[in-house]
Structure 1
Amino acid sequence: MSLRVVTRRLDDDRPLLDLSPASHDPVAWVRRGEGLVGWGVAARLDPGPGDERFARAETQLHDLGRDAEVDDEVGLPGTGLVALGAFTFDAGAAGSALIVPRVVVGRRGGTTWLTTLDPDGAATVPGPATTPPLTPPRDRPRFAGSSKPDLRWLEAVAIAVDRLQAGDLDKVVLARDHAVWSQETFDPLDLARRLTARFPSCHTFVVEGLVGATPELLLARDGDRVTSRVLAGTTGRSTDEAEDAALGAALLASDKDRHEHQLAADSVREVLAARCADLQHDPEPRLLRLDNVQHLATLFGGHLDRSASVLEVVAELHPTAAVGGTPRDRALEVIAELEGMDRGRYAAPVGWIDAAGDGEWAIALRCAELAGARARLFAGVGIVAASLPEDELEETRLKLLAMQAALEP
């Protein structure tokens, strides 16, 4: 397939999500007013299952771009040929894909651009939607059950704690799903706008029905510069300023939460330190406050010692101990045994990559899988030897509130 790719500057400062049509296969990646939105499908790249799915996806994108005619007057990360995608958590599961949109609107550092892709080699440069689509009245979502009822999930956590205390592993992440249904189809762009308004510091994403706002940046690459933000350890928020500060202070002082966080941070540091001689990171975890929860966070930054695309490094990082556990292989075995659900693309990499190998990939958290008027919401918690099952259940409820609120009329 011969592809013509044209990128031009765009004089338009409206919110990116307002520039996307209401339908036409929307994809999005937005944070603090910047990012990418796209629509239409110029190509869908299916790497299939397996540990090599990241490498195969990148090869497929390279093959697509090899014969493409690219006319890019902007020259920023995300211009020219670009794909947005999501991968499955389980290497053996189908469902990973990169989507190359027919039209992309991007914004970075105050520069906005429009990219069009035409497989017939006769590209035009249409303008984006002139007005945001009207959102029709919506029906309230209704709870439709979980793959594992609360009582059974509590029992699974208790089993995991017993194994942790016996030294079988150091940490395991167990997740729950929360199915809902409505009498009206869920609108992914409307949901993304709501999430962006409430969680502007998170990466809001839309990829083939996977919609969410995640605070956890797995890896961003800009040339040889890479950054990552690790989250593990969570508490709630309070509308009372003093109580809110006390909750944050207690989280910072919690041996249990700091241990859980350190395991997650170590899993990222080990990968990045092998690739970045100058890797730097916070000496102590800091607080990241979101609308509904507070997290312990550690930031990493460095320069790659040798050329590697963003997906090449993502393949080594996934799954970090923040969403899997440690030791990794043993934790994945325990997840498969105890969790009782298919994670799909939850807790897996979601983001974008361009032809130069630059991109941004996060972990798909605080998200929902939409299927018409049906949706599955997800939340997970890190289990360590000091964990209490009832506390971990309550933490999943706190995390689920973000998506539940966004789905409400």
Structure 2
Amino acid sequence: MTTVPTTRRAAAQTVLQVATTPLDDLRSLIPYLDSRTPLLWQRKGDGMAGIGEALRLEFRGPDRIAEASATWRELAAAAHVDDAVRTPGTGLIAFGTFAFADDSDAVSTLIVPEVVIGRRGTRTWITRIHRAGDPPLTDRCEARPRTTPLGDEYRLTLLPGTLGKEGYQQAVAQAVEKIREHDLSKVVLARDLKAHLPQESDLRRALVELGLGYPDCWTFAVDGLVGSSPETLVRVHHGTVTARVLAGTISRGRDAASDRDAAIALATSTKDQDEHRFAVASVIDALRPHSADLAASDLPFTLKLPNLWHLATDVAGTLSDGASSLDLADALHPTAAVAGTPRSEAIELIHELEPFDRGRYAGPVGWVGGDGDGEWAIALRCAQVAPDGGLTAYAGAGIVADSDPERELAETTMKFRPIVEAFG
């Protein structure tokens, strides 16, 4: 069931009834999902699967995340919650995805499912959510949702979209020229690929491939946006805030020796170190007003993924102002890892050189709980699936003064690999 979007005024008058109870024998989340409109947040097999929609909230414009945070705070305060499990992801939650740009045509959403199936470590649960005054879900459906087998296999060929390979290299060259001529340190430029899903295609097949192929990433599906992101924008749990910053990339080697050489080359690359430094600084600057003891490692570490090495830095601290995960996502977005430095000049150049609307690509995607805790990633290694089956995938690279257009094109090709393989 799909609900009509709810305005903030209507949401403030909505009272949700929420009940979480333990659930036995939960081996996998994905078989519970709807094949066409899955709701998923998963890493290493743990996470939450959403079924149905009890409430949908939609936001647009420059204040979209701040409005979502304020609306969610009001909605959560009015909810009646019975949580017998009490672990991150239980009780009242919403899945969310937000547009990258302030002027994007893409709507930003928070979706409260009717049913949530979840697991975290050895704890598994089911949450049922309905509006006060409506019959409880247990009166209208089975005590436990049924799993369904995956649909028929399909193979897609993703083709160049609005910005092809030659156009992308030209855009990179223009960006390098702008950086050298102006007070701009870095800009992130993306390109797109397009395909069309056959009618009745089962999106869960792509999620299985992403979850198995990239278990250390956040595999997600929210309102047609599907992907596996390696980058934690922000995580809030019981007053602690953490983030993982990724910037600087190189392809994995073909054997152990070349793979080790690739990691060393990345760790010693001035270009990648500079790009990474800008990204870390933007995260620390955004979080420091909310945490007095924020700390990050002095040097980045190399993070190994199935297809890439990344330079990575973990940031952690204690919240000092009661900010929610949505408040912090609002403060952080967009980071230098997906926009550039300085932020406003980089975004202006993105608008000038990218001939498309990024939609939700590079925006926050994740979940928020009734207490404001939550986990948000940056929507990378992802594709947006439209209701008519149209699919658009995005990948970008950080451009600095000594960037080479051919190398940056190759980097985007590597970053497309998770989606190309999941759907191909």
Q: What TM-score bracket applies, with the shorter chain setting the length?
A: over 0.9
Matched, 1:60 2:60: no
Distance 1:378 1:127, change over 3 A: farther
SS at structure 2 position matched to 1:46:
strand
Counterpart residue number, 2:30: 17
Matched, 1:390 2:406: yes
Aligned mates of 2:88, 2:94 — CA distance in 1: 12
Query: What amino acid is aligned across from residue 193 of structure 1 in structure 2?
Result: V
Query: What amino acid is aligned across from residue 304 of structure 1 in structure 2?
Result: L
Counterpart residue number, 2:92: 81
Identity of aligned residues (%): 44
Pairing of 1:165-244 with structure 2 (within 5 A)? 165-244=180-259
Counterpart residue number, 2:10: none
Aligned mates of 2:221, 2:144 — CA distance in 1: 18
Structure 2, unaligned stretches of length 5 or more?
A: 1-13
Matched, 1:38 2:53: no
Counterpart residue number, 1:323: 338
Q: TM-score by structure 1 length?
A: 0.95
Matched, 1:137 2:149: no
Aligned mates of 1:289, 1:14 — CA distance in 2: 27
Deviations 1:30-75 (A, max 9, x none): 001211110100000012222x211211222233334332211122
Preserved contact between residue 152 and residue 202 of structure 2 (Cα < 8 Å): no
Pairing of 1:192-341 with structure 2 (within 5 A)? 192-341=207-356
Preserved contact between residue 96 and residue 111 of structure 2 (Cα < 8 Å): yes
Query: What count of residue pairs does the alignment treat as equivalent?
Result: 405
Aligned mates of 2:292, 2:197 — CA distance in 1: 51
Task: Report deviation, 1:191.
Answer: 1.0
Distance 1:127 1:134, change over 3 A: farther
Task: Report deviation, 1:130.
Answer: 4.0
Preserved contact between residue 160 and residue 194 of structure 2 (Cα < 8 Å): yes
Counterpart residue number, 2:6: none
Query: What amino acid is aligned across from residue 375 of structure 2 in structure 1?
Result: E
Task: Report deviation, 1:373.
Answer: 3.4
Among 87, 91, 101, which residue is 2:102 paired with? 91
Task: Report deviation, 1:403.
Answer: 0.6
Matched, 1:117 2:132: no
Task: Report deviation, 1:165.
Answer: 1.5
Query: What amino acid is aligned across from residue 377 of structure 1 in structure 2?
Result: A
SS at structure 1 position matched to 2:335:
coil
Task: Report deviation, 1:218.
Answer: 0.3
212-221 or 111-120, larger mean C-alpha shift? 111-120
Counterpart residue number, 1:150: 165
Task: Report deviation, 1:275.
Answer: 2.0
Task: Report deviation, 1:287.
Answer: 0.8
Aligned mates of 2:407, 2:254 — CA distance in 1: 21
Task: Report deviation, 1:127.
Answer: 4.2
Task: Report deviation, 1:214.
Answer: 0.2
Query: What amino acid is aligned across from residue 336 of structure 1 in structure 2?
Result: H
Preserved contact between residue 83 and residue 100 of structure 1 (Cα < 8 Å): yes
Preserved contact between residue 19 and residue 128 of structure 1 (Cα < 8 Å): no
Task: Report deviation, 1:132.
Answer: 4.2
Distance 1:133 1:295, change over 3 A: same
112-121 or 378-387, larger mean C-alpha shift? 112-121
Aligned mates of 1:180, 1:87 — CA distance in 2: 22
Aligned mates of 1:42, 1:187 — CA distance in 2: 23
Task: Report deviation, 1:95.
Answer: 0.8
Counterpart residue number, 2:41: 29
Aligned mates of 1:248, 1:215 — CA distance in 2: 17
Deviations 1:175-229 (A, max 9, x none): 0010112444443222111100000000000001100000000000002101100
Aligned mates of 1:245, 1:105 — CA distance in 2: 40
Aligned mates of 1:145, 1:10 — CA distance in 2: 45
Structure 1, unaligned stretches of length 5 or more?
A: none
- What RMSD over aligned residues (CA atoms) do the two structures have, in Å? 1.6
Task: Report deviation, 1:340.
Answer: 1.3
Query: What amino acid is aligned across from residue 217 of structure 2 in structure 1?
Result: C
